[in-house]
Amino acid sequence: MHYASAALVALLAGTASAAIKDWQQCGGSGYQGETTCASGSGCVALSDFYSQCQPGAVSNPQPDPQPEEPAASSVLSASPTASSKPSGAGPGKQLQSGYYWVRGVTAPNYHKYVQSKPLYATGAAVLGDYTTAGQLQVQSGQLVQLVSGPGEKPEKLLYGIVSETRSINNASLALTWSESKNTYGTFKWGGDDLQWSVSGINRPNPSAWYICTGQLMYINLGNYMYQTPSGCADQTIHYYNDKTANN
């Protein structure tokens, strides 16, 4: 949904909007929640599909220049139907050939699995329940998630997008899912660890991730298990290939 449209709809509906906490979602294509950040924070676009409240930021919830404001009538008609539509039916609970389950292995994210929220749709990348685990692979430096139905050809993929905008403590980069390829840095497996690197940033641990409030995934550019931001847990993330994802 258009950010301004969401605000306008909330206004027209006469709903009081509760301010969104720092580092939580405030916009993006398909997003239907509140759009007002807490005082002193601004809504910043990390991709077409994900905007986030950041302390001290000037609100800039649109990544691209937008066309002129839609007419009020189109705002009203668009609002009830707008939703983040799954990009595919999803591959189900049996692991498809060539893909992996990818998960955290330590508390508080023991056997929590990489997936998209909403499932199989563009938007936030989270560590979530084993019953909704995503099926992933690294292909030519891209982190991909299979979102088409079992055996469906051609396969439909979502790509893990790394934000170039730094988030929490200026030491983390949000991961979101998109139908377009990632253009910032390269994913690879280091053993069974999901790693990311980019030229110009020397990470002390290329396998270091943060899982923060809302189970949102961030690349940790700093040290692993050191100066962990409040609301976040350190995690490394690992693949395995049993037939089904287990608890």
Ligand X SMILES: *[C@@H]1O[C@H](CO)[C@@H](O)[C@H](O)[C@H]1NC(C)=O
Residues that bind ligand X (CB under 6 A): 166, 170
Q: In the complex, what is the shortest distance from the CB of residue 165 to ligand X, in angstroms, rounded to a whole number? A: 10
Cα–Cα distance for residue pair 76/62, rounded to 1 Å: 20
**Which is closer to ligand X, CB of 81 or CB of 227?**
227
**Which is closer to ligand X, CB of 166 or CB of 238?**
166
**Which is closer to ligand X, CB of 83 or CB of 170?**
170
Q: In the complex, what is the shortest distance from the CB of residue 56 to ligand X, in angstroms, rounded to a whole number? A: 8
- Is residue 142 within 8 Å of 182, Cβ to Cβ? yes
- Of all residues in this chain, which one has the CB nearest to ligand X in the complex? 170
**Which is closer to ligand X, CB of 17 or CB of 170?**
170
By C-alpha distance, which of 189, 119, 205, 187 is closest to 158? 119
Q: In the complex, what is the shortest distance from the CB of residue 230 to ligand X, in angstroms, rounded to a whole number? A: 17
Q: In the complex, what is the shortest distance from the CB of residue 227 to ligand X, in angstroms, rounded to a whole number? A: 14
- Is residue 102 within 8 Å of 136, Cβ to Cβ? yes
- Give the CA angle between residues 226, 105, 234 to the nearest 5°: 20
Type and span of the H or E element at 178: strand 172-178
